[in-house]
Amino acid sequence: MLTDLIALRETEPGDIRLLLDTAQSFREILERPVKKVPTLRGRQVVTLFYEASTRTRVSFENAAKIMSADTTSVAAATSSVQKGESLLDTVRNLRAMQIDCLVMRHPQSGAAHLVAQALDIPVVNAGDGMHEHPTQALLDMLTIRQHKGRLEGLTVAIVGDIAHSRVARSNLWGLTKMGAKVRFVAPATLLPRDVHGLPVEVYTDLRAGVEGADVVMALRLQQERMERGLLPSLREYAQRWGVNAKVLELTKPDCIVMHPGPMNRGVEIADDVADSGRSVILEQVTNGVAIRMAVLYHLLGGEASA
């Protein structure tokens, strides 16, 4: 049974499938004029974000509110973090306010793991450093499944800053557990050390990397990578590793294009792709709410019954 959602690497395939199925069944609620079900009435969900994020936080809060939970949002800039309080002290204080679930994002890998060990309530990792972002991968997988009807046997090419990407890591574990093949496509300076030890095919050449792919996922390129000297220029990156319509001619004809957002148009993804019929980027966002509803539903519930 799921008690926390920290990392897809540590999540059973059965639980991943359960979350996807549940989210799929919840999609209909998002289409209703009155988007409210009473399931989590009286439950307190806190979102604790140590990193700026609009999309993910709003997505979690909307999910919780649709399920009738009460939500409180704590941003690091306004909390006692500024006073030098440790992460564990901060979350123990929140817990003492009798909250029922903590959703957290943190710039340090392992932060959610640390907190989950210290708290007796469900903890949801909304992104920890370069480690994992499990709900993003789940919503990506749900979106792929809606388009392809399956995950098994698909080839998913993840293009971009693999080394620093928690999205790439979570998708790798989630997709491979569901039977998909994953490719990492990136310049050598944006590939992590010993990447060949992961269950993944690795390419430095974009054209080879996307050939025959069912799904191409472009990752956001942070400006910081240039500052650290990992890339010579945005221009060269866009030319060599930017996903554009021309490159997509090499994929399967029905290949879809994804992006976890926010996009740098003209860098990792061209306008002619982002706004094309192949782009499912906004569907990813909608599915994000359904996935987070499913996560809250299973984490806050009691003993499972069929």
Partner 1 sequence: MRTIFRKAHVCDPSQGIDRVADVVVDEGKVLAIVDDSTPYDVGSCEVIDCSGLVLTPGLIDLHVHLREPGFEYKEDVQSGTAAAVAGGFTAVCCMPNTDPPLDEPSVIRGLLKRAEQVGVARVYPIAAITKGLQPEGLTEMAALKEAGAVAVTDDAYPLQSAEVLRRGMEYAGQLGLPVLTHCEDKSLTKDACMNEGLTSTIMGLRGMPAVAEETQVARNCLLSLYTGCRLHILHVSTAGAVRIIRWAKERGAPVTAETCPHYFALTDEACMGYNTNAKMNPPLRTQADCDAIVEGLLDGTIDAIATDHAPHAAHEKAQEFALAPFGIVGLETAFALSFTELVSTGRMSLSALIEKMSCQPAKILGLPGGTLAPGAPADIALFDLKRSWTVRSSEFRSKSRNTPFEGWELTGKPVLTMVAGRIVYREG
Partner 2 sequence: MPTEVKVMDAHEMRRALTRIAHEILERNKGAEDLVLVGILRRGAPLAHRLSRLIENIEGTSVPVGELDITLYRDDYRTHTVSDTGATRIPVDITDKKVVLVDEVIYTGRTVRAAISALMDLGRPACVQLAVLIDRGHRELPIRPDYVGKNLPTSRQEFVDVRLEEIHGEDSVCIRKPDEER
The DSSP code sequence of 126-189 is EEETTTB-HHHHHHHHHHHHHHHS--TT-EEEEES--TT-HHHHHHHHHHHHTT-EEEEE--GG
The rounded distance, in Å, linking the Cα atoms of 173 and 131 is 11
Binding pattern for the stretch 18-57 against partner 2, x by CB under 8 A and - elsewhere: x--xx-xxxxxx--x-x-xxxx------------------
For residue 304, the partner it binds in partner 1, partner 2, none, with Cβ less than 5 to 8 A by kind, is partner 2
Those residues whose C-beta lies under 8 Å from the C-beta of residue 178, and which sit 6 or more positions away, are 13, 16, 17, 141, 151, 152
Instruction: Choose between 29 and 58: whose C-beta lies nearer to partner 2.
Output: 29
User: Among residues 16, 45, 48, 67, which is the contact residue for partner 2, using CB under 8 A?
Assistant: 67
| 39 interface partner picked from partner 2, partner 1, none, CB below 5 to 8 A per type | partner 2
Any contact of residue 293 with partner 1 (CB under 8 A)? no
Which of the residues 27 through 86 are near partner 1 (CB under 8 A)?
A: 86
Among positions 146-175, residues that touch partner 1 (CB under 8 A) are 166, 169
**Between 9 and 65, CB nearer to partner 1:** 9
Structural element, H or E, at residue 245? helix 245-248
Is 304 a residue that touches partner 2 (CB under 8 A)? Answer: yes
Which CA distances in Å does 87 have to 44, 50, 132, 227, 282? Answer: 20, 10, 18, 29, 34
Helix (H) or strand (E) holding 75: strand 70-75
Which of partner 1, partner 2, none interacts with 132 (beta carbon under 5 to 8 A by kind)?
partner 1
One-letter amino acid at 185 equals: V
Q: Contact, 72 vs 47, CB < 8 A?
A: yes
> Which residues contact partner 1 (rule: CB under 8 A)?
9, 86-88, 106, 108-111, 113-114, 128-132, 166, 169, 192-195, 197-198
Binding residues for partner 2, rule: CB under 8 A, are: 18, 21-22, 24-29, 32, 34, 36-39, 67, 297-298, 301-306
